[in-house]
Amino acid sequence: MIAAAFALAVSGPVAAQPAPPPAPAPGEEVAPEQALTQKIAVWRIDALGISPELVARLEALFRMELDRLATRALPGRREIDRAIGGDRRLAGCGGEDDCLAAIGKKLGVDVVVTGSVAAMGDNYILNIKAVDVAKGTQIRRIATEPLRGSPDELIDSIRVAAYRLLAPAQLHGAVSILSDMVGGTVTLDGKVVGTTPLPRPLSRLSLGEHTLRVELRGYMPFEDKVVVRFQKTTRVVVRLAPAEPTVEVGPPRVVQREARPWYSSKWFYVGVGVAAVVIGVSVGQALGEPTIVRCGEQGCRP
């Protein structure tokens, strides 16, 4: 299993590429953006409570990663042993800055790297440092978080360690967002980065977890955690669901009615008007009716 994982990761050295590479395809590893001009040598990576065979494989992988980063090939173990010769002090160097600088001068390099892989129960810790040969001082030291003992995890971590040690500015990945929606606002960690469909992946992102959000009017927003991996492009497929229609419900409306006397009602005035008309007609009829006068022996009477 270890050999298979290692063979997959180190299927062959890749020449350093000083110019920035084109946008990678999803899942594709990215070549170094800028090659290191320093001459680099790896003294050794010690095994502390872990299989020497596994550490030897990880050290070979670490050398290959530095070969990708550097413009000049790293010296091999035979070349290092030949340069040291019979110097017992240098041959027994345990990683002290002064003896590493002395080894670097014999090799004619600018930087010497050394480190160890230590076991802590079921976990592992990587400790690696780089020493400036001319100054005899430490440039940088890194230590990983405890890792569980999968060979794949160790391989990926030691590759990341090579960049963290000597090329931290190149330690990033990318996210490719695929969506058939047009005009959706894409937000990464609270910052608007474009609208869908994005013409290219979001590159130069720091490693680790990021919050991705896509919003479009009339659709439910999409939000998820996206993990950015070293020299990888993480692909995210975004599909938005139509938003449910909303009904606006306002506060209840209170209608206040003013109390009025009964004689102020319009029906009162209508009734009065009708009564006046009836009375008027009656009076008119009474005044307009003719009077008949009858006369007889006893005189005239109406």
Instruction: Give the whole-number percent of the chain exceeding pLDDT 70.
Output: 69
Task: Count Cα neighbours of 157 within 13 Å in the Cβ-side half-sphere.
Answer: 22
The two beta strands, 173-178 and 185-188, are unpaired
**Domain range annotation of the chain:** 2-170, 173-237
Residue 138: band (very low, low, confident or very high) from pLDDT cuts 50, 70, 90 = very high
Q: Which amino acid is at 123?
A: N
Helix (H, G, I), strand (E, B) or coil at 219: strand
Cα 62 to chain center, whole Å?
29
Buried b (16+ CB within 10 A) or exposed e, 50-87: beeebbebbbebbbbbbbbbbeeebbeeeebeebbeee
Helix (H, G, I), strand (E, B) or coil at 184: coil
Peptide bond into 197 cis (omega under 30): yes
Give me the CATH topology for the region 2-170: Rossmann fold (3.40.50)
Q: Edge to edge, what strands does the sheet with 233-237 contain?
A: 202-205, 173-178, 233-237
- The CATH homologous superfamily to which domain 173-237 belongs is Immunoglobulins (2.60.40.10)
Cα 6 to chain center, whole Å?
30
Q: What is the dihedral of CA 61, 110, 93, 143, to 10 degrees?
A: -50
What's the pLDDT tens digit per position in 53-93? 888 888 888 898 888 888 889 999 899 999 988 888 899 99
What's the pLDDT tens digit per position in 188-204? 999 999 999 999 999 99
The two beta strands, 233-237 and 173-178, are parallel
Q: Which amino acid is at 245?
A: P
What's the pLDDT tens digit per position in 35-53? 788 999 999 999 988 888 8
Q: What Rg value do the Cα atoms of the chain yield, rounded?
A: 46
In 3-state terms the chain splits into helix, strand, coil percentages (rounded to 5) of: 30, 30, 40
